[in-house]
Structure 1
Amino acid sequence: MVIPGWLLQHEVTIEAYLGDTSTGPAYGPPVTARAYVEEKAKTVRGRDGEEVTASSTVWLLPTQDCPPESRVTVPAGRTASVITSSLYEGGGLPTPDHREVTLT
């Protein structure tokens, strides 16, 4: 079961991180995605295991690509970097499959 569309009341813009180049990070073209955005500070562990403060959590459809270090613009107009991007897929169980993204 996929997260119900009626829960995804917001729109975010995602620029997927493609990697580093000689001139700095490269990003894909902006993509608009339906989402649920929660603006709430919390402590999370980054990819390197260090504790960092996340300012927002975004829930997306499970098919939405949003790798770590991507840029996401939330409805408030703030652009932030992705700290973590986790896919929650229940393997056929009646759980809401979704992607959870934490932002700086």
Structure 2
Amino acid sequence: MLIPGWLLQHEVTVEAWVSEGPYGPKYSAPVVVRCFLEEKTRMVRNPAGEEVTSSSTFYALPTETCPAKSRVTLPSGRVTTVIASYRHDAGTLPAPAHREVQLQ
């Protein structure tokens, strides 16, 4: 079961991080992602296991690609960076599969 479409009320623009270049990070072309955006500050762990502050989290279809370090533009116009992205799959349980993306 996937996250219901009616929950995906917001749109963010994601530029997936590709690599570090000689002049800074390289990103893929921007993609608009339908999601549920929660602007709430909380402590999370980054991929290195360090505690960092997340200002927002969005939930999208599990097929979306949002690797750490990707650049995200929120509906407000604020540009932020992905701390971590997790795919949640409940298997046979009656819970929706989705992707959770934690933002700086």
Q: Give every structure 1 segment of 4 or more consecutive aligned residues whose post-TM-superposition deviation is greater than 6 Å.
A: none
Which residue does 2:40 correspond to in 1?
A: 40
Distance in 2 separating the partners of 1:39 and 1:67: 19
Q: Does 1:62 align with 2:62?
A: yes
Note the C-alpha offset of 1:74.
1.0
Q: Report whether the alignment pairs 1:83 with 2:80.
A: no
For residues 24-52 of structure 1, what are the alpha-carbon distances to aligned partners after superposition, in whole Å with 9 as ceiling and x for unaligned? 11000000010000111000011111111
1:92, distance to aligned residue in structure 2 (A): 3.0
Partner residue, 1:25 = 25
Specify the SS of the correspondent of 1:95.
coil
Instruction: Give the letter for the 2:81 counterpart.
Output: S
Cα RMSD (Å): 0.8
Is the partner of 1:94 in helix, strand or coil?
Answer: coil
Q: Structure 1: where are the runs of 5+ without partners?
A: none
TM-score by length of 2: 0.96
State the identity %: 55
Q: Which amino acid aligns with 1:32?
A: V
Alignment correspondent of 2:95: 95
Q: TM-score, normalised by structure 1?
A: 0.96
2:2 corresponds to: 2
1:62 Cα offset (Å): 0.5
Structure 1 residue 6: Cα displacement: 0.2
- In the alignment, the residues of structure 2 paired with residue 40 and residue 48 of structure 1 have an alpha-carbon distance, to the nearest angstrom, of 22
Deviation string 1:32-87 (CA, Å, 9 cap, x unpaired) is: 01000011100001111111100000001101011010011111111100001000
Corresponding residue pairs, total: 104
